[in-house]
Chains A and B, each alone.
Chain A
Amino acid sequence: MSSARSSVARLRAPTLPRQAHVGLAVAGIVAGAVLPFFFASGGGFLDDATIALAYVVMALGLNIIVGFAGLLDLGYVAFFAIGAYTMGYFGSLFHIEANGGEGIHILVTGAAAELPGIHVNFLIVVVLAIIATTIAGILIGLPTLRLRGDYIAIVTLAFGEIVHRFAINGDEVTAFGTKLTNGRQGITPVDKIDLPFVDPFSSLNLRPWYWVAFAMVLIALFANFRLRDSRLGRAWIALREDEVAAASMGVPLVKTKLLAYGTGAAFGGLSGAFLGSFLNTVNADQFQFSFSIFVLAMVILGGLGSIWGVVIGAIVLSFIINRLIPDILNEVPSKIGLDFDLTELSFGIFGFLLVIMMVLRPEGIIPERRRQMELSEGLEDLGVGDDGVVHTRVP
């Protein structure tokens, strides 16, 4: 009796009161929003921070598929690619013959309004990218419906690779008078973000870019939190736990899985469209298999299913890859007399980090409550407490 009560207390102890949560969230939003004022508006830090935020959006999208619904997706890069190509198609010189060389312009101002090619306002492009990736998400979902676990991973991996191959070889495929992609040359330049009531964005002042990325993160966070504690979120977790029981309790498997794929993919498309514009290129080499693993590693490192964990995981990994290794530690090997750059070892370092993490803290930086229970279950069943004393539990 008393042991049951104490385990209830243990479960509740780490959760903060609601006001504390709201307070922390507000503090976090304010801190995130004013951060750019402390750094040079054109500097490397803001560049890295903006990319990190775009990665957070993708990691939060993948978290819905893998963390919530338990569908191991190894082809997430496909959604990045589709989002970025949507930006490339509707915001660059790519369709240079469009409208007889005059160009098509929808709600764009500044330089883009004068150029040939199709130029559509960024907000519309985002909507198109979300629609395209949601459809792609559902398409990739369909063949995996009858599969479980590792087999889903294999099919999604293949899907990511198919999209990558299309991106590489698309410059040799012509449809409706234009090439499918620009292959490794890339579609460049890409239109800058053009929002109503503000000056067109430029690559010299990175603050507006940062704020747009930050707003996208807030949207993704909001959706993640709301979905987690909803009818749909519970259905996803039920599905992850036991498909047969979930179906028998009235959860429609096909619809629920496809909603997970579609929703998760939509965030990949949103972030992809943003990165297409921010990086100013849509290049086939951006969409390699390793990127899918990179996003998955953010989710796992942060804590599968744990929303804050995923945010931290994405920021940490993205800074390690984009700043720590190339800018700060790159010279270290040559200083100690070795003949290579650290960037050549990026993925080695990064794999090493994952291994270390899995040994020290397999549940991630900020574990999800449910996963933590699952992973610590073994010890608990033995009744071994932190003090090493064996407690027998009387139910």
Chain B
Amino acid sequence: MTGDTTTDGPILEAHDVTKQFGGLTAVNDVSFVIPRRAIVSLIGPNGAGKTTFFNILTGLYKPTLGQVRFDGRDITGGRPDKIMALGMARTFQNIRLFGTMSALENVMVGQHARMKAGLFGSILRPPRVRREERHVREKAGEMLEYVGLRPALHEQLATNLSYGDQRRVEIARALASDPKLLLLDEPTAGMNPQESENLTRFMERLRDERALSILLIEHDMKVVMGVSEHVTVLDHGEKISDGDAATVRSDPRVVEAYLGKQEGERQHEGGEAG
């Protein structure tokens, strides 16, 4: 399913993507490239359209205009489960685990697209299905260990886990499908500096050990500047700056977007959905 020949060229390309909600343009004509095995960041003030852009890439929203190519295929407006099956996995800004399932079961759901058992297979459970089930369970355990969840907590219901552990499980759930591109939506929200630092190291490990590309939405500039090879800045749905961390940091438009202009401050339009 994923074994194709397009191993060169960027993992993801977005061309002139626009998303309008009624009269509001949440994302306006944004083009964007993620190279393979790279960590790139998307930053911008609240309401800049970052999460909307994420939702377009993962298929939750259809873009009004523009095209998204993933791994050489056009996925514009595709269904989220199909896009996930192609190898794009995500986490959510406000953690969205399946609360009444155990950590392990959550990660097993993450492998849904990689499994084959259907209705009759599930009921009759032939050896093929048993093997698959065992394999998926083992792999879920391995993923949870990989993200650092203590084995004692693997069977615990997700809703009972601490905030940090829930973040871990969410990343494990996304990783369990063996994605090529991982989208992290504000993964360090609510973390202390030490935890953020650990997560930064972890992202680098993912890129190096699992040959992953990572797209990161983040507010913590220390994390962004430390880990990203490329930073894109959105403001009011438009791309206002693009480049490596140092370039972006010194760009007057970025400073303006975050700190405001001297005279005649622009009004903030809310509207970051998702």
**Taking beta carbons and an 8 Å cutoff, which residues of A are in contact with B?**
4-5, 7-8, 11-12, 222-223, 226-227, 230-235, 237-238, 241-242, 244-253, 259, 263, 370-371, 373-374, 377, 395
Contacts and interface: CB of A to CB of B under 8 A. Distances in A.
A247 B80 contact: yes
B12 interface: no
A8 B152 contact: yes
B153 interface: yes
B65 to A, nearest CB: 23
B60 interface: yes
Nearest first, the 6 closest Cβ-Cβ pairs linking A and B are A250-B113, A395-B162, A230-B122, A370-B100, A245-B96, A250-B84
Nearest to A368: B100
B60 A231 contact: no
A358 B25 CA distance: 47
Nearest to B96: A245
Nearest to B115: A231
Interface residues of B, number: 53
B77 to A, nearest CB: 14
Q: Which of A222, A248, A263 has the most CB of B within 10 A?
A: A248
B109 interface: yes
Contacts, number: 130
Contact of B97 (A231, A245, A259, A370): A245
Q: Which of B100, B153, B156, B165 has the most CB of A within 10 A?
A: B100
B219 to A, nearest CB: 22
A237 B100 contact: yes
A237 B110 contact: no
Given A8-B155, A251-B81, A227 B112 contact: no
B132 to A, nearest CB: 8
A242 B122 contact: no
Contacts of A248: 58, 60, 80-81, 84, 89-90, 92
A245 B89 CA distance: 11
A373 B100 contact: yes
Nearest to A223: B123
A251 B122 contact: no
B258 to A, nearest CB: 29
B84 A230 contact: no
A233 B117 CA distance: 11
24 contacts: A4-B162, A226-B124, A227-B122, A230-B129, A231-B136, A234-B105, A234-B109, A235-B109, A241-B101, A242-B96, A247-B79, A247-B81, A249-B110, A250-B85, A250-B111, A250-B114, A250-B177, A251-B109, A252-B81, A252-B82, A370-B100, A370-B101, A374-B159, A395-B162
Contacts of B96: 242, 244-245
B157 A370 contact: yes
Nearest to A372: B100
Contact of A241 (B60, B80, B99): B99
Contact of B109 (A12, A249, A374): A249
Given A7-B160, A232-B117, A252-B82, 15 more contacts: A8-B152, A11-B160, A223-B123, A226-B122, A230-B122, A231-B133, A233-B122, A241-B98, A244-B60, A244-B96, A247-B80, A247-B84, A248-B92, A370-B100, A374-B159
B98 A12 contact: no
A7 B99 CA distance: 16
Given A223-B123, A251-B109, A242 B118 contact: no
B119 A263 contact: yes
A377 B159 contact: yes
Contacts of A371: 100
B155 A226 contact: no
B123 A373 contact: no
B125 interface: yes
Q: Which of A12, A232, A246, A250 has the most CB of B within 10 A?
A: A250
